[in-house]
Structure 1
């Protein structure tokens, strides 16, 4: 189980104000879903610290200062999910830290290293744990947690996901999170569909693959440092920033700004001016760019 220094009451209050959560603070499935969605909508994904040559701190106090009290910053997966895990623990939920291979576009899953952080959450009274993840920087990210159940489609917050098993070498089952690329479901709606076919309105795309082997905070200190400092890491070479909008998803990937809307329309434009890039992050992403950060190549 994940263990960290408990948040003080004022820190939890600050976190819930930051994400706009005014609901109950219970250790139950409804609270987990609501807080997960509120966090995903409120705090953007961004890699500006690695981009300017700084390794992000995963210390709870530093995460509170940056992602919560600053109010104008975000972070990448280790920051988001370390913070979220501590919040869930404070609510009385059990959390196991997992590490996944991001496999979007991969021909073979084994080609990708385990560099993504996800969470397995035990909810009192629920028959099975849930996969939770507020730090996956992609349009196919979970907006609400999904039960750890294979071959069942889950619809939540306008997105469709399922978990499937995939063959691999090793004693543990390999789970794969997939997202649907076709029409989107509606918020709170859940349905079932076999993973073997019978889909008429689009394709499923693998997002990441993971086993249920638990990881520790010390493991993420190493992985975080590697991703932030390796010259081959994409997070140190170009800006990668995303946030949810009321109508869809906004992504800055290097100089390319992409707006994806719920009706399926996509608009793209290339930013060519550093001042414009800073203005876009300020006005459209709600992010204050730290001094010394160069956003465009």
Structure 2
């Protein structure tokens, strides 16, 4: 499967709550980007659910995110979003990015993140990213080097001496983009590492997160973290039925079993 069918486009737009048809212009890109960010959770549950796989196959992405109304992480969310944008007439390039680790004070490895460079019908170029967990609500102007105000903070794109692009949120580095376009299949090594490596944060812990009208709601394992105008609150959900209800009611994710972290086996040389 190489492209979305008309029925899949219609179902995807319905999932986002966006009425079609969609024109490949800047206004439509903003609508689609915002709807995606606010509707589809950032989550890594498939890694920790029996019988589930994380696949970059387009048919599998449609089945998971559109049909089963699940979320995913960057390769899945931006991978499918890119297919939707291409299907309605945008130009899309898939870019490798290295995320910034505050703990190590350095950027990670290539292919750690997938971001999108999108060109609209007027020729304007955008950085779109619906798969970073906490990022911009709207696409960012790719060529703009000044501050870009967004509902989720102030962003800035800074070009490095090597020609890469650093993405900053409120002055803090988020990730570094390699401007060379890749195919979705090129991210397969990154997908494999995130799913299988004992060093992968996705392998080590559960996460499910979604912005709300005035904040964000996140499940990290059994810890429910809610941020809104009243501040930040945390509580642990110990009952399995209550945890499944939280996934359903807060994220629209219907599960029959509680996802459980099973540490990846460490290899020895």
Whether the TM-score (by the shorter chain) exceeds 0.5 is yes
Matched, 1:230 2:197: yes
Deviations 1:110-163 (A, max 9, x none): 455541110001112234x1100111113xx12111111353111234532111
Matched, 1:163 2:129: no
Residues 153, 161 of structure 1: 8 Å contact kept: yes
Residues 25-36 of structure 1 mapped to structure 2, 5 A cutoff = 25-36=22-33
CA distance in 2, matches of 1:220, 1:265: 37
1:11 to partner: Cα distance: 0.7
In the alignment of these two chains, the number of paired residues is: 262
Residues 101, 107 of structure 2: 8 Å contact kept: no
Deviations 1:32-86 (A, max 9, x none): 1111111111111111111236431221111111101222x11111111111000
2:62 is matched with 64
Change over 3 Å in CA distance of 1:113–1:264 after alignment to 2: farther
Matched, 1:126 2:88: no
CA distance in 2, matches of 1:76, 1:293: 16
Residues 1-297 of structure 1 mapped to structure 2, 5 A cutoff = 5-22=2-19, 24-52=21-49, 54-71=52-69, 73-127=70-124, 129-138=125-134, 141-167=135-161, 172-180=162-170, 204-261=171-228, 263=229, 265-289=231-255, 291=257, 293-294=259-260
Residues 43, 71 of structure 2: 8 Å contact kept: yes
Q: Does 211-220 or 76-85 show the bigger shift?
A: 211-220
CA distance in 1, matches of 2:252, 2:86: 28
Residues 34, 137 of structure 2: 8 Å contact kept: yes
Change over 3 Å in CA distance of 1:290–1:223 after alignment to 2: farther
Deviations 1:216-264 (A, max 9, x none): 2221122112211112212122211101212211112233322122x47
CA distance in 2, matches of 1:110, 1:246: 31
Q: Could you say what the CA RMSD is over the residues aligned between the two structures, in angstroms?
A: 2.3
CA distance in 2, matches of 1:108, 1:158: 23
Q: Which aligned runs of 4 or more in structure 1 are off by greater than 6 angstroms?
A: none
Residues 2, 58 of structure 2: 8 Å contact kept: yes
Change over 3 Å in CA distance of 1:285–1:116 after alignment to 2: same
1:19 to partner: Cα distance: 0.4
CA distance in 2, matches of 1:95, 1:111: 24
Q: Does 10-19 or 233-242 show the bigger shift?
A: 233-242
Change over 3 Å in CA distance of 1:145–1:111 after alignment to 2: closer
Q: Does 143-152 or 238-247 show the bigger shift?
A: 143-152
| Unaligned segments of structure 2, at least 5 residues | 264-269
TM-score by length of 1: 0.80
Residues 277, 296 of structure 1: 8 Å contact kept: no
Deviations 1:204-224 (A, max 9, x none): 221111120122222112211
